[in-house]
Chain A
Amino acid sequence: MTSYLLRGVSVLGAESRDLAIVDGLISDKAPADAEIIDAAGLVALPGLVDLHTHLREPGREDAETVETGSRSAALGGYTAVFAMANTSPVADTAGVVEQVWRLGREAGLVDVQPIGAVTVGLAGKQLAELGAMATSAANVRIFSDDGHCVADPRLMRRALEYVKAFDGIIAQHAEEPRLTEGAQMHEGEVSTRLGLTGWPAVAEEAIIARDVLLAEHVGSRLHICHVSTAGSVEVLRQAKARGVRVTAEVTPHHLLLTDELAASYDPVYKVNPPLRTAADVEALRAALVEGVIDIVATDHAPHATEDKECEWAYARPGMVGLETALPVVLSVLGERWDLIAERMSRTPARIAGLTGHGTDLAVGQPANLTLVDPSARRVVDPSELASRSRNTPYAGTTLPGRIVATFLRGEPTVLDGKAVK
């Protein structure tokens, strides 16, 4: 196994020093034959961990595969991603989650951890075999019907209770379906002007409020996917103050973009939950800094061109995000490296119970890390993305930071800003 010496690297913005990688671990001393990487001016972060990725395989390999999504993740600085269950077939059995897990191992670019569906076929009727997925080779701990809300309160209660047996966690897509029938974008001034059916903030907030109470009642862990409104932040703040075991994520796009972008009717801006108002964006940023929102998760959602190059109402919701997540967060939070490591690596790994990731770059720890050039600026060009899909909302936008290298257990997956394989 090749050893590496990262010369002059700044770990989390600290004074630059040399960092050695030997036998897949961080070391204080490099052997004489170590490959030297000039890391002057680069910042080292623990490898990023994404709790919310859509890899589309099996079923929509035209939009993304485990391999192309893994490459996209590595180029974004990630060393682990959690693959959502809304594939075709749905990841609701041990067989499907093991298939996804195995495809991830074969690609070998990031650790791909499958998320299991909460209910059979994401239909919200009957619990999937959560225990079988937990004890499978994929070792599933996060369960989610993402894309759909577990709307039935009794079913949600049972799911929360049931996964306690193996320290699982339910990740809820908070969307009261009766309040969002036909919804196309955030309900407000812009939806009224554009004549698009509104997705009211309360449809998210009502489910979060209900579910923190359910989690409190049964003493279970709850994770809230893609929080998008200021009102949700307040519900979470109160729940956390009471000691409810709830964690929450926000996407990079909800930290940067607003519903005004829908005025173009270009479905590249259509996403679920929808882009909200500038006031929501402000509240989400503050909550992320404060820790009311625990992590950033991408909700990387690749879609084939024909599913976006059409009328707004007919387009699928979602945006790709793995390759732009860290630059967006850098533009929002600035160079607060320890905070970024906390929100994008350590805490997501801790929520998921994922060992070997999100650890400090200390001697003896697995060398899962990424090197970032914070001084670089990049204009996002959709054709340059490694993802198989092109639906980025940042085309033509200049973002700070360039991911120069990523290491997974001491093996480079990205070098000189290019995927190694």
Chain B
Amino acid sequence: MIKHLRSAADLDAPTATLILDTAGEMAALAGREVKKLPTLRGRTVVNLFYEDSTRTRISFEAAAKRLSADVINFSAKGSSVSKGESLKDTALTLQAMGADAVVIRHPASGAPHRLAAWVDGSVVNAGDGTHEHPTQALLDAYTMRSRLGRIDGLKVAIVGDVLHSRVARSNVLLLTTLGAQVTLVGPPTLIPVDIAAALSPATKVSYDLDSVLPDMDVVMMLRVQTERMQDSFFPSAREYSRRYGLDLARMRKLPEHAIVMHPGPMNRGMEITPEVADSSRSTIVEQVANGVSARMAVLYLLLGGKA
């Protein structure tokens, strides 16, 4: 098993499949009355969050607690970090406290890579800047597999602000590793340069959502921050949602079996309309539940549990 999960590129197909299979076993646990395994008893998992992200933090916290690990939540606000402590000094502190795993959310891309050089424990990337969010990709893949029965051969459109999206990068890497065909869709200003060369040569790019939809098994909508307007990535929220938002009319262009995903939090009315978000094709709530199972699987396997 790998030691750290810093990037979805750390996962080859067998390892990723093992994590998804393990997540399935963890999900079965959620149906039981006692939702707890003794596996990580006595182990310490630190949630080191430099950004506010309640949903990701509580997902990791629930995952670690269901495995009986001791959980320490370390948030940058109101801590030594707000007093100017460096990441290195924080890392050495966690190291001295005997952290077996550090789950890190950080606004700077690559912070988990730096952290891994300073601690002996496993490092799990819970979102770093505009780089990656590999456990989100795992829970998304798990959701696709649960709904559609496979990942190999699926056609997946990832739509929106790919440039600033750590979710998109991790998904492209993981889904390609598992045999899906990914198409990135968005205005040219929000598609990063050389994306196929950077992530996976098979990745396609389209600027026309309508032409892409009829062929897709999965459409994943990304959150688009309205502030991007100020930087001229697009003219207005209205024009954005007219060209790239998923409404009922567009959803009807999808094949009947296709699902609609969103990593949350959503901008209802911007990239997705409420009717679509709340439709039976939407997996948005499922994704949250699957997040706990996928993160349990990651912690379990990284910390030496046997599948």
Contact = CB atoms under 8 A, between A and B. Distances in A.
A187 B109 contact: no
Interface string A183-218: 010011111111111100000000000000000000
A311 interface: yes
Contact of B132 (A190, A195, A264): A195
A265 interface: yes
A183 B166 CA distance: 17
Interface stretch (B39-47, B188-196, B219-227): B188-196
Nearest to A265: B110
Contacts of B128: 195
Chain A CB within 10 A, most for which of B107, B111, B114, B128: B114
Given A265-B114, A309-B86, A192 B109 contact: no
Contacts of B169: 193, 195
B130 interface: yes
A384 interface: no
Contacts of B195: 192
B193 A265 contact: no
Contacts of B166: 195
Contacts of A187: 193
A193 to B, nearest CB: 4
Given A195-B129, A195-B130, A306-B86, A311 B106 contact: yes
A310 interface: yes
Nearest to A306: B86
A196 B198 contact: no
Given A306-B86, A310-B87, A192 B114 contact: no
A183 to B, nearest CB: 13
Interface in B69-110: 86-88, 106-110
B198 A311 contact: no
A264 B195 CA distance: 19
A29 to B, nearest CB: 59
A313 interface: yes
Nearest to B197: A189
Contacts of A264: 113
A305 to B, nearest CB: 10
Contacts of B106: 311
B204 to A, nearest CB: 15
Contacts, number: 70
Interface of B is mostly: mixed
Given A189-B194, A310-B87, A313-B129, A196 B109 contact: yes
B193 A198 contact: yes
A312 interface: yes
B84 to A, nearest CB: 10
A191 B107 CA distance: 16
A166 interface: no
B109 A313 contact: yes
B131 interface: yes
B87 A265 contact: no
A191 B198 CA distance: 8
Q: Which of B106, B108, B193 has the most CB of A within 10 A?
A: B108
B199 interface: yes
A169 to B, nearest CB: 35
Contacts of B110: 194-196, 265, 311-313
A206 B195 CA distance: 24
A413 to B, nearest CB: 37
B231 to A, nearest CB: 8
B193 A188 contact: yes
A265 B86 contact: no
A378 to B, nearest CB: 26
Contacts of A196: 109-110, 129-131
A193 B88 contact: no
B86 A189 contact: no
Contacts of B87: 310-311
Contacts of B132: 195
Given A193-B199, A265-B110, 8 more contacts: A189-B193, A189-B194, A193-B198, A196-B110, A196-B129, A197-B130, A264-B113, A311-B114
6 contacts: A190-B198, A195-B130, A198-B192, A309-B86, A312-B108, A312-B109
Interface of A: 184, 187-198, 264-266, 306, 309-314
The 9 closest A-B pairs by CB, nearest first: A195-B131, A265-B110, A311-B108, A192-B198, A189-B194, A193-B198, A192-B192, A195-B130, A195-B109
